[in-house]
Structure 1
Amino acid sequence: MQVHELKKPKHLKSKRRVGRGGKRGTYSGKGMKGQKSRAGKNIRPQIWDYIFRTPKLSGPTAKLGDAGQRVKKQGTIKDIYRVILNMDELNNAVKEGDIVNVDYLLKNGLVRKYKGMKPRVKLLSKGKLTKRITVERLELSKGAKEQIEKIKGTVK
């Protein structure tokens, strides 16, 4: 027996460096084969599946490609907040010779602002109008316009 053939005592031997990291033995907690066990694993989050499935409201974005063009843009707040007034409601609130516009309706409490914005108001012909008025910058149905002109009111 020679010096190079001598074995170290067990307590002086260095441990086997297998796997490195994870403190879980041979494969470091990564299992055996597959994408997740490789270095630099790059697996997208599962929530992306749901993100790609939902239609977007605006144009395309860098990551989503044409997913953004599946649904057209919805209407603006101006389109959403539209108030419909009938002639009988208007008849109860106005006096003879009044000039009716959005500001007048806001002042008399027939309509309200929405998020600080004035609403779009449309007059319909339900009910009867008995007072002569002037209507400015309001949308009118055909019947409502006829009613106003019939009692010698004006539409601007």
Structure 2
Amino acid sequence: MMEHQIASPKGARRGRKRIGRGDAAGGGSYAGRGMKGQKSRSGRGLRPGFEGGQLPLIKGLPMKRGFTNRYKTHYALVSLETLQERFEPGDEITPEKLHTLGIIRRTRLPVKVLGDGELQHSLNISAHKFTAAARAKIEAAGGTAVEL
């Protein structure tokens, strides 16, 4: 037996109901479309959100229009100012250490270091991403910026 010879047992599949085939047929007459009007005619139906010519609801909600990128990378943000206050000169800073000190909430988000504030002493920072300003300030203070 071959794949194209396999058939379903009798009664396993029901044929589609052919409506609108005369008054005597089940589903004849108006064929489930009601009487007259735009939605009783053949052809393409109304587009989603059509409200019969009334100003659509979506037009009154401008903040709901547009697009959300599902693939955007969200980062746990840390400023240099925060690191300056919380760490001693020459400290090794990792995402795990930032989490244990409560500077970042979740470890599953990648860490990005921002260049806000000034850095007075050297720090050795390991993070997933650095802004150009942050990297420049860390290296100017004598520290290292290592990308994970």
Contact 2:80/2:115 (<8 A) preserved: yes
Give the alignment's TM-score, normalised by structure 2: 0.52
2:95 corresponds to 1:105? no
> In proportion to residue count, which structure has more helix?
1
- Once the two structures are superposed, residues 1-42 of structure 1 have per-residue CA deviations (whole angstroms, 9 ceiling, x without a partner) of xxxxxxxxxxxxxxxxxxxxxxxxxx9xx99822139xxxxx
2:122 corresponds to 1:122? no
Contact 2:80/2:118 (<8 A) preserved: yes
Sequence identity, in percent? 18
Give distance in 1, aligned partners of 2:140 and 2:134: 10
Corresponding position of 1:34 = 30
Give the alignment's TM-score, normalised by structure 1: 0.49
2:140 corresponds to 1:153? no
- Once the two structures are superposed, residues 90-120 of structure 1 have per-residue CA deviations (whole angstroms, 9 ceiling, x without a partner) of 111111111112111101110011xxx5222
Corresponding position of 2:123 = 133
Give distance in 2, aligned partners of 1:144 and 1:88: 10
Give distance in 2, aligned partners of 1:148 and 1:107: 22
2:133 corresponds to 1:143? yes
Contact 1:124/1:140 (<8 A) preserved: yes
Over aligned residue pairs, what C-alpha RMSD do you find? 3.4
Query: Cα distance, 1:137 vs. partner?
Result: 3.2
Structure 1 residue runs without a partner (length 5+): 1-26, 38-48, 55-70
Runs of 4 or more, structure 1, over 6 Å off, are none
Corresponding position of 1:75 = 71
Contact 2:113/2:127 (<8 A) preserved: no
Corresponding position of 1:24 = none
SS of the counterpart of 1:92?
A: helix
